[in-house]
Structure 1
Amino acid sequence: MKASCFECVFLVDDDEDDQFLLQQVFHQYSPECQIRLLSNGVELIEALETINSLPALVMLDLNMPYMSGFEALEAIRKDEKYQSLPIVILTTSDQQIDQQRAIQLGANDFITKPTLLADYSQVVLRLRKQWLVGRCVR
């Protein structure tokens, strides 16, 4: 059965602290966005297959169990129906090789998670401006 509720942002990250933090920052700076929390690439692919409309944005961590962000990104981009789906890598990695690989596999952007809590607001504001205005945010 397909989900009937529009969740405009899928956050795929196995770290519950990061999930909680990003959910709180989104609630503060973009409260109209409904966030769907997923823990790995397998859950993401299953969720995409069971929804009526695509999310406005997928935020994807790289290091996760079962299916990494790279593996999920590659699988998603192979499917024609997900070609226009915005996928932003949000990871602790600051390695150029990871950024290059993510872009080659079809990521729309690559953001290294901030080390300071206060900087998460800038990440959410950037994501809002670049990917959500006009899609699920006015």
Structure 2
Amino acid sequence: MERKIKIFMIDDDPDDREFFQIALDMTGIRYTLKTAESAVEALNIFPEFLELPDYIFLDLNMPLISGIQFLQIFRESADLNKVPIIIFSTSSYHKDIEDTKALGASHFLSKTSDIDRLSEVVVSILKGNDLPFILT
């Protein structure tokens, strides 16, 4: 039996979390999804993980601790540094893109209202396809 891909999504918008899960369901890929409503919650959850997630999808614009701050904190740990982090944001601000790339994000995925396109891009990411840093 195929192993389930472990995904952790950090996003303060419940509609975006639901939309993302629908797109995941459409992929046909077996997965488990754990979510956090903020970077603060995510940092509190990590000690509870028995196994690290295979992928993290991270929103940038969140209260208290931003996605960029989370990325900085997360990448300081050698153990956590191996987990691919995909920025999943409405931001298209050039500095956000440059900063997240410099901090070790794997990809920068723009949020879209096109569920089919999101599902297609997520499949490419989860299958490990060679992709550019910026994904639309």
Given the two structures, how large is their TM-score scaled by the length of structure 1?
Answer: 0.83
The equivalences for 1:119-130 within 5 A come to: 119-130=117-128
Among 63, 66, 70, the alignment partner of 2:64 is 66
Q: For residues 46-125 of structure 1, what are the structure 2 equivalents within 5 Å?
A: 46-125=44-123
Which secondary structure does the structure 2 equivalent of 1:52 belong to?
coil
Q: Distance in 1 between matches of 2:26 and 2:37?
A: 22
Structure 2 unmatched ranges of 5 or more: 130-136
Match of 1:134 in 2: none
For normalisation by structure 2, the TM-score amounts to 0.84
Q: Secondary structure at the match of 2:44?
A: helix
Runs (4+) off by over 6 Å: none
Amino acid at match of 2:122: V
The 3-state SS of whatever aligns with 1:107 is: coil
Q: Judge conservation of contact 1:8–1:56 (CA < 8 Å) in 2.
A: yes
- Please give the secondary structure, in 2, of the residue aligned with 1:62: coil
1:49/1:30 Cα in 2 relative to 1: closer, same or farther (>3 Å)? farther
Q: Which runs of 5+ in 1 are unaligned?
A: 1-5, 132-138
The 1-side partners of 2:93 and 2:7 are apart by 25
- Asked if residue 12 in structure 1 is aligned to residue 5 in structure 2, the reply is no
Whole-Å Cα distance in 2 between the matches of residues 95 and 16 of structure 1?
23
Aligned with 1:130: secondary structure? coil
Q: Contact between 2:58 and 2:88, CA under 8 Å: does it hold in 1?
A: yes
- Measure how far apart 1:31 and its partner are: 4.5
1:136 alignment counterpart: none
* Bigger Cα displacement from structure 2, 29-38 vs 10-19: 29-38
Q: What's the Cα RMSD here?
A: 1.7
Post-superposition CA distance 1:80-135 (Å, at most 9, x none): 2111011110100112211100011111111111243332222222222228xxxx
> Number of paired residues?
126
Flag the structure with higher strand content. 2
Within the candidate set 29, 38, 45, 2:36 is matched to: 38
